[in-house]
A and B are shown apart, each in its own frame.
Chain A
């Protein structure tokens, strides 16, 4: 059974850094592209980053310079680090498995709240 479990969310002060993890199981993680997507409260889905099996990645322009994504294939984990967080980074952050070229199998998400 495929599982994607995000963790690391919570209350973060503006200007600080956050690091989210997504632990995967039930599939050949090292072969799959993974995505991060976020959803601000009451808003739609917003693509954040894509990381390919070899670690190459592409990040949303509006987060460029603040966002790092990485993966640990032996440990089946994908990471997201966001620096200098702002209140508008408040969102549910989802990781999702790429099955046929898009985020298609989603975790439950981890909520990040940026506030002082």
Chain B
């Protein structure tokens, strides 16, 4: 089935900034926004940002989310070792009436 496009991996140094992208189309990202999820190895996903752009409770302000057209972005500043995780975007596709996920981006903090 259709999905959202994320780069498989991103590597940045400690205290640097990482920007992760998520690309869809007008039926999903462009009109419905995305949720961003963080998943550490062996743990369930945890929401960072809700579809409406609201930061989830307890999430550091080092994390920010934005969207331009059909591409959404998650930016993490001042990278810390605990930021090393898999990051997924998710959106509702109103044409297919399904939830779409990106393939996930593995963030490595060097």
Contacts and interface: CB of A to CB of B under 8 A. Distances in A.
> How many of chain A's residues touch chain B, expressed as a range?
20 to 34
A44 B44 contact: no
8 contacts: A45-B101, A62-B1, A100-B52, A102-B50, A102-B90, A102-B99, A103-B90, A104-B35
Given A45-B88, A60-B98, A62-B1, A106 B44 contact: yes
Given A45-B45, A107-B44, A102 B104 contact: no
B98 to A, nearest CB: 6
A60 B45 contact: no
- Which of A44, A58, A99, A107 neighbours the largest number of chain B CB atoms within 10 Å of its CB? A44
> How many of chain B's residues touch chain A, expressed as a range?
20 to 34
B88 A47 contact: no
B91 A102 contact: yes
Interface in B20-52: 32, 35, 37, 44-47, 50-52
B21 to A, nearest CB: 16
Contact of B44 (A35, A99, A102, A109): A109
A72 interface: no
Contacts of B88: 44-45
A88 interface: no
Given A44-B88, A99-B50, A61 B99 contact: no
A42 B11 CA distance: 19
B46 A47 contact: no
B45 A47 contact: no
Given A44-B88, A104-B56, 7 more contacts: A37-B99, A47-B99, A50-B98, A61-B1, A102-B50, A102-B90, A102-B99
